[in-house]
Amino acid sequence: MKSFIKYTIATITGILITLLVLLLFVALSLISLTAFDSTPAYISDNSVLLLELDKEIAERADENPLTELIGNEDPKIGLDEILKAIDNAKNNDNIKGIYIEAGNYFNASPAMVKEIRNALVDFKKSGKFIVAYGDNYTQGAYYICSVADSIIINPQGTLNWKGLSAQTVFYKNLFEKIGVSMQVFKVGTYKSAVEPYILDDFSDANREQIETFTKEIWNVLSKDVAESRNIPRNTLDSLTNTPMLYGTAKEYKRNKFVDMIAYSDKIPQIISKMMGCQEDDYMVVSVKDVASMESLTPKDPNGNIIAVYYAVGEIVQESDDNIYTSKTNIASRDVIKDLQSLAEDENVKAVVLRVNSPGGDAFASEQIWHQVEYIKSKKPIIVSMGSYAASGGYYISCAANKIVAEPTTLTGSIGVFGLIPDLSELLDDKLGINFKTVKTHEYADMPDVSRPMNEKESAVIQNYVNNCYELFTKRCADGRGISQDSIKSIAEGRVWTGVHAKKIGLVDEIGDLDDAIKIAQKAAKLKSYTLQTYPNKNDIFSNILERISSDSYAEKQIKENLGEYYEIFSSMRSIQNKDKIQARTPFYIKFNL
């Protein structure tokens, strides 16, 4: 009887599981036929593109409409999708203008907001209008909106224009309390990625470089706003030094930051007036719909392709997706296969490598560098730098035929460091755990985190780091066509903005992704081409299954509890998963934009 009951329960359980799987499959199939329909959207006449600045901007964002429904992850929108939508809107006669709606939760890097703003400036060349509205303008959102023909604010709204700050966190005192010390090996006065583990404040050199690139980035942003709003630079600087966030809508208008004060329900009337039509005679279309439109540029009949390859995130040897590490990284073992395929594809006439990376694993960076060299031996390869292309991010860029950077790109940071923790005090004194080792040779247990390294072992690691630095600077010198001594004079781990990097020869041009594509076209001597992006984004089913996983749920809970400190915690936790030798930009920098 017991066996009968046991088998009956097992059978029922199996049937229920099968039914659940079938229901999930049917649901996903239905969704794929509706929400994920790849048919390009039809844009009716008298349409307006709605650009909502209320999410985090990612270099590329996978499509997944179930994200908010399931609640496992904060929604993001891809920079690539925004730029494509703006370009399509510019060239589509049915779209008469763009309506920008600023939100409270907009988050993007200085380079990203600069690229979006550039696209809007180009859009205005079509003669179409841009109007912006916000209940509350964040500084980054306002920078983008400043290009609009008309900026509107809620009568009780706020506008944040306060300058730029960069912040990091130091763990030294925490480590001392728990009995952990970091054994540091580095090359470069400015290679300050190790400072949070051994200091409780910025070194003089690090403070100098952060002050320099922060001021340079702010100069770019403030110059653009001053020109768009016709505000003298000295006046804008004076206003920036006031607590503008706590001002009034009338003050914002008086100081020329906005053009109009109105509640949101007046927006349809304002837009229809700009279009010369009735309020109910225009349609609002989304970024997603406009981005999905077929490009007006016909595909090249000869099959010529310019490939844009996105290298986004930290550089690692293999992907290590868990709740403590970013799900976006540059895994060298995957990237080198992709790049080799592009090199050997005869239809691909040029490659644009889009780099947005603070660096990472030195060995992995070398492997990707080798594949860039391989591509260059067969066809032009142009680098387009995004928010970051520093340290390892510069390593994988330096061999390209040309390097194009945004003025606010953070690049350089040519240096190498190693971190090996010493947990002996934590283990012995705090936890009462002792390790005893028997070994056949002197270095058999090296490195061992249960004890501090001796002088000979430290010398071995430092020598290895020195050799990595020599190789890194040689790669940069060969790629840029200048002497290794010249590279070393501007290296030392120092971070530069794109503007400064051009002056010292680390990049060739100041521009965006579109500029890099044009350079690639010229280098490949193509009259026409088809643009294709790589690697392929995750398919819809993979995204859905990933988002409903327990790790994804746990990650969201950690993010919600830690808030702005999540990235700091993630950075600390992921140290143990990194290779000991890193070519990485200085620590985690939080821009208060």
Residues annotated as catalytic are 191, 391
Residue 411's beta-bridge partner residues?
A: 389, 496
| Dist. CA 106–CA 593, nearest whole Å | 10
The answer, yes or no, to whether the previous bond of 40 is cis (omega within 30 of 0) is: no
For 536, the 3-state DSSP assignment is: coil
What residue type is assigned to position 38 of the chain? S
The interaxial angle of helices 362-376 and 332-344, nearest 10 deg, is 0
CA neighbor of 403 nearest in space, from 260, 521, 547, 502: 502
| Dist. CA 206–CA 190, nearest whole Å | 6
Structure tokens at 446: 């090296």
For 70-149, where are the E strands, in sequence order? 76-78, 95-102, 129-137
Rounded CA Rg of the chain: 26
| Dist. CA 139–CA 160, nearest whole Å | 5
| Dist. CA 531–CA 527, nearest whole Å | 13
| Dist. CA 51–CA 64, nearest whole Å | 19
For 477-540, where are the E strands, in sequence order? 495-497, 509-510, 530-534
Go through 370-386 and write b for each residue having 16 or more CB atoms within 10 A of its CB, e for each that does not: ebbbbbbeebbbbbbbb
Q: Do residues 430 and 179 make contact, with C-beta atoms less than 8 angstroms apart?
A: yes
Q: Do residues 315 and 359 make contact, with C-beta atoms less than 8 angstroms apart?
A: yes
For 434-528, where are the E strands, in sequence order? 495-497, 509-510
Structure tokens at 192: 């300050």
For 359, the 3-state DSSP assignment is: strand
